[in-house]
Each structure stands twice: as C-alpha cells, then as structure tokens.
Structure 1
C-alpha cells in the first residue's frame, strides 16, 4: 500500500495528461497534411515530429518517480503578477508593432518587455540582448526564410 507522500499530486497527473493529449492531437492533425520525405519535407512533417516529441516528453515526465522530498511549489502570489504582465505585454507589443512599425522595433520591444519580467535584470543587458535577438531573428526570418515583413516601416 502506498503512502500519501509517494503518490503523484493531481496537478502532475493533469499536466502529464494534457501534454500527452496535446501531442497526440497535434500529431493526428499533422497527418491531414502531406508529410513528404526527409529530404523534401511537406507541411505536415514538422508538426508531426513536434506532436510525437510532446507525447514522448509527457511519457518521460510520467516515468519520473514521485518524490516526497520535493518541496511543494508555492501558489501564485503577488510576485507572479509582474512576469505574467511583462511576458503578455511583450507578446502584445509584438503583435501591435509588427505591421505598423516593422520587424526590428517589434522584436526589440518584445524582448525588452519580456526581459523586464525579472527584476534583477539590468536595462543595459536587456537592451543588448534585444539587439542581439533582433539581428539574429532578422537574418533567420527575413533573409534566410524570406518572410515578407518590412524591417522598419517608415
């Protein structure tokens, strides 16, 4: 008979179930698209791989034994508000700026807003990271993949 300390918490079971079912759903939806081959991947190839990986991740989490030595994770409190607002604000800023201001200001604003989620981050480092991510994303998405977005809207 198992003791209460060795049982899985309901939250962990829910997370494992949600991850597994999401992975299966994505993989099943990907089968509606052409998969292609490894050399010439179709539009369903990458989503299928992601769905399978997500389901495997859920299985790995499920196989990890429940540990009574782990401290309970504290529930959301006042400290959880700032990161959530900063991350969501960054996503919202990207969505609002991408069309009106262009790719560079949108990515930079998104990274800076998300960087402000951690109070210990210094503004100089956040802006430097934002510039590096903006240059990398511009090279990959605009020049490498040819995404039709203006760098800066004038």
Structure 2
C-alpha cells in the first residue's frame, strides 16, 4: 500500500479515531432503537458515520494519485495554542475553578474572553471587529441557551448577579 496523499490519509485516520471513540463512548448509554431513541443513539450513529467517512477518505488517499503527494506541512503552533487557550479559558470562566479560588464569571464574560483570545490565532487583529463579533455571539448565546432553552448556568459574574 502506497500513500498518495498524506493530508487525506492522516485526516481520514483522525476521523476514524474520533468516530470510533464516539461510538464506543455512546455504548455506555441506553441506545434504544430508531423508533424510541435513547441518549446514546445519536452519538453512536454520528460516530459510526464519522468512522465510515474517515475510512473512505483514507482509502481514497491510497488509491487516487495527487500532484506532489499532498505532503503534510509544518504545525501551525500559534493558532493551535490560541484556540486551545481560548477554550480552556472559556471553560474556567464559565464554571470557575474552586480549587484555585477562581470564581465563576459567567457566560457573557466567558464568550468575550473566548472571542478575543481565539482572534489572536489569526494574522490580523481588529479590536472593533472582534468586539462586535463577541457582542453578537454573547447576545445570540444568551437568547439560545438561557432564554429559549432555559439552561441553568451563570450568565454574569457572581459579584454582579448576587
């Protein structure tokens, strides 16, 4: 077997790995059937579908010739760092970190931090555009999760909301 497209081959392997992990994790829940779906039905089907797509991509990478072999380039460390840092920061700000004495700052502060930190991953940064995006995301998230779905989690920092 000869790999003809490195990018497709390894992305297919990642799809298969994530799909198998989701499907395997879903089996710990009640799956049910098509007529009466349990909480594990959707992640199981999604994991199976993702694994199938990954296997098709991996097969295509070994069967279809590409120009130059689609070599894998260097790792993009800056975007990887800022995207991961933004997600970790959002999680910590949303729920707090009691073991370190960090209080929950709520959804709105978390979304602003997430947006500003993740925008540093790009090549250009315009504070006004990022602020507008963060505001739209914060309003949309509040409407979708708090107002429409009635989810219960802190929206504002505890020293503001009491």
Aligned length: 147
* Compared CA separation, residues 39 and 110, structure 1 to 2 (3 A): farther
Alignment CA distance shift 1:137-1:56 (3 Å): farther
Which residue number in structure 1 is paired with residue 100 of structure 2? Answer: none
| 1:28, distance to aligned residue in structure 2 (A) | 3.1
Could you tell me which runs of 5 or more consecutive residues in structure 1 were left unpaired when the two chains were aligned. none
Tell me how far 1:118 sits from its aligned partner.
0.6
Residue 46 (structure 2) pairs with residue 50 (structure 1): yes
Shift of 1:113: 0.9
More relative contact order in 1 or in 2 (CA 8 Å, sep 6+)?
Answer: 2
Which runs of 5 or more structure 2 residues have no equivalent in the other structure? 96-103
TM-score with structure 1 length normalisation? 0.76
**Structure 2 length-normalised TM:** 0.73
Q: CA RMSD in A?
A: 2.7
Equivalent residue number for residue 135 of structure 2: 131
Structure 1 Cα separation of the partners of residues 33 and 116 of structure 2: 39
Aligned-residue offset at 1:29: 2.9
Q: How does 1:83-94 map to 2 (within 5 A)?
A: 83-94=79-90
Cα pair 2:7 2:70 within 8 Å, conserved: no
Report how far residue 135 of structure 1 moved: 1.6
